Amino acid sequence: MLRTTAILTILAMTAGAASAETLRWARAGDSLTLDPHAQNEGPTHTLAHQIYEPLIIRDVTGAFEPALATEWAPSESDPNVWTFKLRPDVTFHDGAAFTAEDVVFSFNRAKSEFSAMKELLTSIVEIRAVDDLTVEFVTDGPNPILPSNFTNLFVMDSGWAEANGVVDVQNIAEGETTFAATNANGTGPFTLTSREPDVKTVLDQNPNYWGMEQFPMDVTRIEYTPIQNAATRVAALLSGEVDFIQDVPVQDLDRVNGTDGLVVKTAPQNRVIFLGMNMGAADLERDSVDGANPFADVRVRRAMNMAINRDAIQQVVMRGQSQPAGMIAPPFVNGWTEALDAVSPADVEGAKALLAEAGYADGFTVQLDCPNDRYVNDEAICQAVAGMLGQIGITINLNAQSKALHFPLIQNDQTDFYLLGWGVPTYDSEYIFNFLVHTKEGDRGSWNPTGFSDADVDAKIVGLASQTDLDARNADVAAIWDVVQEQQLYLPLHHQVLNWGMTDAVGTEVSPEDDPKFKHFTMN
């Protein structure tokens, strides 16, 4: 209650001073860090997109849009090389010139040990600065979709990083704090003015931005306030204390949309919400079964999948604002099929029988780790799942907490059963496989604490990056999905729907990536 009061006080103090060009923005959770390569997470990327820039980005339709690169193509002389031409006359916020050396530095940094982005760059064996405005990416085989991996790969100033001791990526999984985690120097449309994590971040328009004449640039200041409590967040929008919220609670959609001067814009999101299980451990740490791991038996995983009533979650928890899912790929993604995504009705009796067949007729108890400030109704989803699994004898101890505490559990293999959401900015299944299916080793599988490991599947995943025969590649993608589905590697729940709430003075369309880029916004 004290935190809620403090947030409203901060908003009230700034509301009167805000001009028509100030955008007061709120969402449930904050960015986890300002280090652009330390965390592969939506809200973290969204804030970074205002300050830093990648070589290319996607517009609200999903199409590529030039950013720091103006053109890109495979080399005519070497099929293992992609050439990127860089935008001239670009400067970082501190005035340093942007050159190819900064791209080389940034991508090598993003390939390093503690980077959360390295799975996107596994096919790259060398990055070369041909001249100040030309970069070549050398891959270990022809990679026809390489540019798709670059839309969240932000470019840092190599000189700034060296001067401030942040050549290495912040080790966020171990709780490290660095200069780059709290400071920023990008080429983007906004500069960092102040940063108080989980309280308030202020950005001001970059007067030297290369795109000043290309984009509306109506927003001159951004005041970003994370408001975890849904009622408080909506109250701030209704009272005029904020102009834009990314996550209107589903129970308040009609209320917001029916208020004069406010509007809700909705679109399907490129994201799936699902549950993961530690099937690889010999014995789980947070369950009631001694000397065995119930998740290691595929019959248990299938029984759990059968017990989940996705239609009930859609109607009761999500108020219709979701689409039940049978696979962990959104419909936007190459490899998704209607057949794989089909959802069967919940079958409690069938699930009980399968659980008994696996030797767990009396069920068991296990901890479910869940974030409470990342996805739409995330904690409520976990509560609903707990009730459904309880019907087949699986008792859930729910551990709901901030994403800042939740995500390290997954990255450090400290969870047995967890909720996660996954977006696919590349629009290709390889992204899902690299992070969530490949054995957790080296530069792959960083978000796969399930313990699943299959050498043949791993080989197919690695081969996707250099498979130029698209029919053969799609056949491999389908074969990998067959294994994922057959093994019940995850328990898909639903495809998330986005609901952005804003004053009618704000002009924007909803991005399926849930990543508003405020240089495109208009303010009337």
pLDDT tens-digit series, residues 87-107: 999 999 999 999 999 999 999
Measuring CA to CA, how many Å separate 329 from each of 269, 277, 452, 486?
11, 18, 18, 15
pLDDT tens-digit series, residues 184-233: 999 999 999 999 999 999 999 999 999 999 999 999 999 999 999 999 99
* pLDDT confidence of residue 174: 87
Q: Does pLDDT of 264 surpass 50?
A: yes
Domain boundaries, the chain: 2-35+173-266+500-523, 56-161, 269-497
* pLDDT confidence of residue 62: 87
* pLDDT confidence of residue 305: 98
Q: Contact 115/68 with Cβ under 8 angstroms?
A: no
Looking at domain 269-497, its CATH superfamily turns out to be Dipeptide-binding Protein; Domain 3 (3.10.105.10)
Over residues 171-176, the mean pLDDT reads 90
Q: Contact 40/510 with Cβ under 8 angstroms?
A: no
Helix, strand, coil proportions of the chain in percent (round to 5)?
30, 25, 45
Burial profile 27-47: b = 16 or more Cβ within 10 angstroms, e = fewer: bbbbbbbbbbbbbbbbbbbbb
Looking at domain 56-161, its CATH superfamily turns out to be Dipeptide-binding Protein; Domain 1 (3.90.76.10)
Over residues 430-442, the mean pLDDT reads 96
Q: Contact 82/142 with Cβ under 8 angstroms?
A: no
Q: Does pLDDT of 17 surpass 50?
A: no
Q: How far apart are the first and last CA of the chain?
A: 35
CATH number for the domain whose boundaries are 2-35+173-266+500-523: 3.40.190.10
Confidence of residue 476 (pLDDT cuts 50, 70, 90): very high
